[in-house]
Amino acid sequence: MEQYTTIEGDTVDLIAYNRFGVTHGATEAILRANPSLAAAGTKLPQGMTINIPAFTVKKVNTAARIWS
């Protein structure tokens, strides 16, 4: 688990996107690793140290078949 120190304007979603390239699942993983983080509000205070857990982005095949 790595640690991250928040900067002005940080949100959990933004941190998740910047670190993992996705928010779905990654935001929830960060919140689970930091149980009191949700109480800090939407915009996190600058200088707060939070834990960034290991997270694997699952690839989903989104290709659609138009013809069979």
Task: Determine how many CB atoms are found less than 10 A away from the CB of residue 62.
Answer: 5
**Average pLDDT of the residues in 13-42:** 96
Class of domain 2-52: alpha beta
Q: What is the pLDDT of residues 45-64, one digit of tens each?
A: 999 999 999 999 877 666 77
Domain boundaries defined on the chain: 2-52
pTM: 0.82
Listed residue (42, 32, 53, 46) closest to 12, CA to CA: 42
State the pLDDT at residue 33: 97
**Average pLDDT of the residues in 19-41:** 95
State the pLDDT at residue 55: 93
